[in-house]
């Protein structure tokens, strides 16, 4: 589900503009919904930015309000609102800091029935061990350092990520996770930390409630994206960058991410085959680094 828009954001302004256009007709939300032949809840969600409108929704809205003269202004707002950018530095400065950001991610995951995750070369937070988390968050290139998080805030982030992992054991959740084989090899911390992380992955690959898949180098699709992403109920996509996140709300773009995820998912291995791949990486790391 889309996160609530920040006050003054393009998404918030779009919702306000559409509400003003509807109000100018003199019709209530329920009456307007009948003209559109939509459920009243859909009109309400669009006006409160709980649901992002498509281009077709906008045209139908303007036609129902006889406000086609507003098309240019509304279309421009829609275009700007399709992607929202959030800076880690700015978010960590808000009340609650870095810990609050992780808790907001947890709430978003709990609200969604399905969260599909793809990471080409890094392990998602839902799969990380506490030791791996601490080493990762302490890296100069990590989101915590990009956001100038303090040591206490990093511990809050670790605690929140551990809480998020309870989702992995809930059978009613749909949490497909696809990671590239490169993620198994990326060294975060010492050898002991990495081997402990691989051991955890191996145990997760055997759980019935966890749909963990690994995309081997040999099967990697040539169109694989250079960035990871998460899809929330086919309603929004979150793409993480070095300094922040992009929230994609355009239904057409979300559909493209869904198609790409399905291709990656179908090419990845799971279960015993994924466990063997993880074991092979562990053996090679141990053999090549006998002294740790």
Domain boundary among 81, 103, 126: 81
- 3-state SS string for 26-80: CCCHHHHHHHHCCCHHHHHHHHCCCCCCCHHHHHHHHHHCCCHHHHHHHHHHHHH
Averaged pLDDT of the chain: 86
What is the tens place of the pLDDT at every residue in 168-189?
988 888 999 999 999 999 888 8
Longest dimension (CA), the chain: 77
What is the Rg, in whole angstroms, of the alpha carbon atoms belonging to the chain? 22
**Residue 290, C-beta contacts closer than 8 angstroms, at least 6 positions apart:** none
237, 230 contact by CB (below 8 A)? yes
Query: Does the pLDDT of residue 190 top 80, yes or no?
Result: yes
CA atoms within 13 A on the CB side of 22: 26
What total number of domains does the chain contain? Answer: 2
| Per-residue model confidence (pLDDT) at position 35 | 95
Burial readout 278-288 (b: 16 or more C-beta within 10 A, e: otherwise) = beebbeebeee
Say if residue 121 is in the same domain as residue 45. no
pTM for this entry: 0.77
Say if residue 171 is in the same domain as residue 279. yes
Say if residue 45 is in the same domain as residue 125. no
Say if residue 74 is in the same domain as residue 91. no
| Per-residue model confidence (pLDDT) at position 171 | 82
Q: Given the structure tokens 């969604």, which residue do they identify?
A: 112
| Residue 187 resides in a domain | yes
225-230-83 Cα angle (round to 5): 80
The residue-averaged pLDDT of 122-128 equals: 93
CATH number at residue 41: 1.10.260.40
Domain enclosing residue 56, as ranges: 10-81
Query: Does the pLDDT of residue 266 top 90, yes or no?
Result: yes
CATH number at residue 182: 3.30.870
Query: Does the pLDDT of residue 222 top 70, yes or no?
Result: no
CA pair distance 117, 238, nearest whole angstrom: 10
């Amino acid at each position: 589900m889309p996160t609530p828009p920040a006050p003054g954001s393009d998404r918030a302004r779009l919702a306000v503009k559409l509400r003003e256009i509807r109000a100018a007709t003199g019709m209530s939300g329920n009456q307007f919904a009948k003209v559109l032949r939509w459920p009243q809840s859909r009109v309400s969600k669009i006006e409160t930015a709980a649901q992002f409108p498509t281009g077709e929704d906008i045209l139908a809205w303007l036609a129902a309000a006889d406000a086609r003269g507003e098309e240019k202004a509304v279309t421009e707002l829609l275009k700007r609102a399709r992607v929202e950018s959030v800076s880690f530095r700015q978010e960590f400065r808000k009340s609650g800091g870095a810990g609050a950001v992780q808790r907001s991610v947890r709430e978003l995951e709990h609200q969604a029935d399905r969260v599909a995750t793809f990471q080409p070369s890094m392990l998602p937070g839902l799969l990380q061990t506490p030791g791996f988390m601490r080493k990762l968050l302490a890296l100069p290139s990590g989101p915590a350092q990009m956001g100038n998080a303090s040591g206490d805030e990093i511990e809050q982030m670790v605690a929140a990520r551990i809480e998020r992992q309870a989702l992995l054991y809930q059978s009613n959740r749909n949490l497909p996770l696809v990671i590239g084989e490169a993620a198994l090899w990326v060294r975060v911390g010492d050898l002991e930390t990495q081997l402990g992380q691989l051991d955890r992955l191996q145990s997760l690959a055997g759980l019935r409630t966890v749909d963990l898949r690994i995309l081997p180098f040999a099967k990697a699709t040539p169109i694989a994206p250079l960035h990871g992403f998460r899809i929330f109920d086919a309603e929004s996509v979150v793409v993480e960058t070095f300094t922040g996140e992009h929230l994609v709300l355009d239904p057409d773009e979300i559909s493209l991410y869904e198609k790409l995820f399905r291709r990656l998912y179908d090419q990845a291995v799971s279960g015993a085959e994924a466990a063997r791949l993880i074991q092979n990486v562990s053996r090679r790391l141990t053999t090549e680094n006998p002294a740790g």
